[in-house]
Structure 1
């Protein structure tokens, strides 16, 4: 089981809402209305860990180890929402999300292949680590810079934990897992080319609710994410290249190959076409 070791390592790295956030350093002159509004949107987006956890637990009844890890992931992701809301409560109470706004992002996700979903969330954590790192650089208010730095570090550790479960899946399912991970790696590493970097919160996940079946579509401002990335934190092509390099480097180590480009990874994916699908479908999981 991976859960006991992951619990101990993440427990050692855990930060305190009271002791590790320098609340007394708040500088009201360094917080604009525009910046404060992004805090609200990020808080609501982080709250969507709730339906994601419900999905993971529903689709992983066969795997108590991974399900137990969800207790850590859910706790830390909800703490991200909480620290952002606490920031607003202290310094911009007019922007604290309402319970209705939070509840709007709690909706059911359709089932999807387990191994692909695992890879999707791994890639999503890599991307989110960089988004929040960039947000910490963009913000000028010192407390908020520290908060986004703490959250970014958490997301990086979560990506590492998902990678451990991907390695375990290869041991159990062999080429079926390799094929699923390569497929999602190509998708997630290529998404920037279309001008829309993919992340679990902007993917369609409930056919019945389409088009309001992404987390972002259910925010008070559905167009916020694109503006945040492009016009505010300026997550440009250079930033995206760093995300892709991290994905390729991680998948190279995981799969025992060298992927310098997405094209290399795609060639590898094609070489695994026809790998035993039954193992991949044995454990349904969703994005």
Structure 2
């Protein structure tokens, strides 16, 4: 089992909201209304760890190890929402999300293949790590800058934990896992070719609720994410390339094959598909 070791690793570096956040360094003159609004939207977005956890537990009933790890992931992700709300409670109480606003992003996700979902969230952690690093640079108020730096490190650690479960999946499911990871990797590393930000909170996950079936679409300001990325933190092509490079680097290590571009990864995906078509006995696992 991976859960006991991951619990110890994450427990050893867990930060305390009361003592590890420098609340006394707050400078009201360095927090704009625009910046405070983005903090509210981020707080609500992080609350969506609740329906994501419900999805993971539902779709991984046969995997007690991974389900147990969700207890750690869920706790830390909900703490992200909590610390952002605590910041607003202290310094901009008029912008603290209401319970109704938080509950709006709790809805049931449609079932999805577990291997693809695992890879999707691994990529999501990489992307969020880079978004929060950029947010920390954009903000001018020192306490919220420290908070975003702290959250970014958590997201990186979560990505590392997901990677451990991806390695386990390769040992269990072989080419089925490789095909699933390559498929989602191509998608998540191709953000520059899409009209929307590629992150789990911005993907459609409930057919019956379409088009209000993304987390972002259910925020008080559904257009916030694109504005935050493009105009505010300016997550440009250089930053996007950092995300792509991390995805490709980790998949190269995972697959023991070098991928220097999305095109190379896509060719690998097609090779796996061809091999499966030629050898029906391969890929018998249904995720």
Q: Name the TM-score, length of structure 1 as normaliser.
A: 0.97
Moved more, 225-234 or 268-277: 268-277
* Conserved? CA contact 1:21–1:143, under 8 Å: yes
Question: How far has the Cα of 1:277 moved from its partner?
Answer: 4.0
In structure 2, list runs of 5 or more residues that go unmatched. 277-281
Matching residue of 1:190:
190
What is the rounded CA distance, in whole Å, between the counterparts of 1:166 and 1:210 in structure 2? Answer: 30
Question: How far has the Cα of 1:191 moved from its partner?
Answer: 2.1
* Conserved? CA contact 1:216–1:222, under 8 Å: yes
Moved more, 201-210 or 272-281: 272-281
| Cα deviation 1:70-104 (Å, max 9, x = unaligned) | 00000000000000000000000000000000000
| Cα deviation 1:90-135 (Å, max 9, x = unaligned) | 0000000000000000000000111000000000000000000000
What is the rounded CA distance, in whole Å, between the counterparts of 2:180 and 2:235 in structure 1? Answer: 28
Q: Displaced runs of 4+ in structure 1, greater than 3 A? A: 274-278
Q: Does 1:208 align with 2:214?
A: no
* Conserved? CA contact 2:196–2:202, under 8 Å: no
* Conserved? CA contact 2:169–2:177, under 8 Å: yes
Matching residue of 2:226:
226
Question: How far has the Cα of 1:195 moved from its partner?
Answer: 4.0
Query: Over aligned residues, Cα RMSD in angstroms?
Result: 0.8
In structure 1, list runs of 5 or more residues that go unmatched. 282-287
Matching residue of 1:180:
180
| 1:79-94 aligned within 5 A | 79-94=79-94
Q: 1:278 aligns with which of 268, 277, 284?
A: 284
Mark the CA change 1:248 to 1:280 in structure 2 (over 3 Å): closer, same or farther: farther
| Secondary structure at 2:190 match in 1 | helix
Mark the CA change 1:277 to 1:208 in structure 2 (over 3 Å): closer, same or farther: farther
The count of corresponding residues between Structure 1 and Structure 2 is 281
If asked which structure has higher relative contact order (CA below 8 Å, sep 6+), I would say 1
* Conserved? CA contact 1:177–1:280, under 8 Å: no
Question: How far has the Cα of 1:54 moved from its partner?
Answer: 0.4
Matching residue of 1:284:
none
* Conserved? CA contact 1:115–1:177, under 8 Å: yes
Matching residue of 1:56:
56
Q: Name the TM-score, length of structure 2 as normaliser.
A: 0.97
What is the rounded CA distance, in whole Å, between the counterparts of 1:209 and 1:102 in structure 2? Answer: 17
Q: Does 1:111 align with 2:117?
A: no
What is the rounded CA distance, in whole Å, between the counterparts of 2:190 and 2:286 in structure 1? Answer: 23
Question: How far has the Cα of 1:196 moved from its partner?
Answer: 2.5
Matching residue of 2:140:
140
Question: How far has the Cα of 1:280 moved from its partner?
Answer: 3.8
Matching residue of 1:126:
126
Question: How far has the Cα of 1:192 moved from its partner?
Answer: 2.1
Matching residue of 2:279:
none
* Conserved? CA contact 1:25–1:142, under 8 Å: yes
What is the rounded CA distance, in whole Å, between the counterparts of 2:213 and 2:129 in structure 1? Answer: 24
What is the rounded CA distance, in whole Å, between the counterparts of 1:52 and 1:278 in structure 2? Answer: 27
